[in-house]
């Protein structure tokens, strides 16, 4: 696989990545709160959970492209790692900046930010892929960072830190799986605030 092919697929994938990430927002509820779905879908309305649903589709595309020949491009793994790390930084940064002016979250603006962040991650991936002359050490370090971010998504979903800005659900003031709003048609599941 050539750099040009990876670049072309990355550009064309922006809209599907946004769509898949949007679907992941609902997967946890659609599966009846299955723990496996919790790893991939948003389990509550925290910023962390919204970065997670942007990270997974982008990471999945990168893994597929790597398997299809991206492994032969020295800058592929560092580009993938940098683009994945851009997601939580950009999403949380942009939301916190716009909240300075709005004083609250706005659903339509959160959706725009989500789409923008996914597109930005693809831009960063392409630019880094095309411009980085990666050494073997850079690839190894980037692979560790890539794996570390995906591991943190798993760990922080099931056991989030009690941090009051990024990991707390603003609707329930709770964390992780316990921060999810209970289904109003079922008896109290012990998750109400």
- What percent of the chain stands above pLDDT 70? 91
Q: Which string of DSSP letters, residue by residue, matches 85-146?
A: HHHHHHHHHHHHHHHHHHSS--HHHHHHHHHHHHHHHHHHHHHHHHH----HHHHHHHHHHH
Q: Which string of DSSP letters, residue by residue, matches 40-77?
A: HS-SSSSHHHHHHHHHHHHHHHHHHHHHTTGGGSTTHH
Q: Encode pLDDT of 141-168 as tens digits.
A: 999 999 999 999 888 888 888 887 788 7
Question: Is 108 part of any domain?
Answer: yes
Tell whether pTM > 0.85. Answer: no
Among 107-111, 113-117, 168-172, 177-181, which is the least confidently predicted range? 177-181
- Taking the CA atoms of the chain, what radius of gyration do you get in angstroms? 17
Whether residue 181 has pLDDT greater than 70: no
Q: Which residue range forms the structural domain that includes residue 162?
A: 3-179
Q: Encode pLDDT of 6-48 as tens digits.
A: 899 999 999 999 999 999 989 988 988 888 888 898 888 888 8
Question: Is 157 part of any domain?
Answer: yes
d(CA 40, CA 25): 9
Domain count, the chain: 1
Query: Residue 146: how many CA atoms within 13 Å on its side-chain side?
Result: 22
Angle at 80 between CA 78 and CA 84, to 5 degrees: 120
Whether residue 187 has pLDDT greater than 80: no
Q: Encode pLDDT of 76-99 as tens digits.
A: 999 999 999 999 999 988 988 988
Specify the pLDDT at position 122: 95
């Amino acid at each position: 696989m050539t750099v040009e092919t990876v670049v072309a697929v990355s550009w064309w994938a922006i809209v599907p990545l946004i769509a898949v990430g949007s679907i992941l927002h609902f997967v946890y509820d659609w599966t009846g709160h299955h723990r496996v779905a919790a790893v991939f879908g948003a389990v509550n309305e925290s910023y962390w959970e919204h970065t997670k649903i942007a990270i997974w589709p982008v990471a999945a595309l990168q893994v597929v492209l790597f398997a299809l020949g991206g492994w032969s491009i020295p800058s592929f793994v560092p580009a993938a790692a940098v683009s994945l790390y851009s997601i939580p930084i950009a999403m949380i940064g942009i939301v916190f900046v716009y909240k300075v002016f709005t004083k609250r979250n706005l659903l339509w603006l959160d959706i725009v930010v989500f789409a923008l962040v996914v597109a930005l991650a693809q831009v960063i991936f392409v630019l880094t892929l095309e411009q980085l002359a990666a050494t073997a050490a850079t690839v190894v370090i980037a692979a560790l960072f890539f794996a570390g971010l995906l591991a943190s998504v798993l760990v922080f979903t099931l056991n989030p830190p009690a941090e009051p800005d990024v990991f707390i659900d603003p609707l329930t003031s709770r964390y992780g799986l316990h921060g999810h709003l209970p289904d109003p048609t079922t008896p109290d599941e012990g998750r109400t605030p």
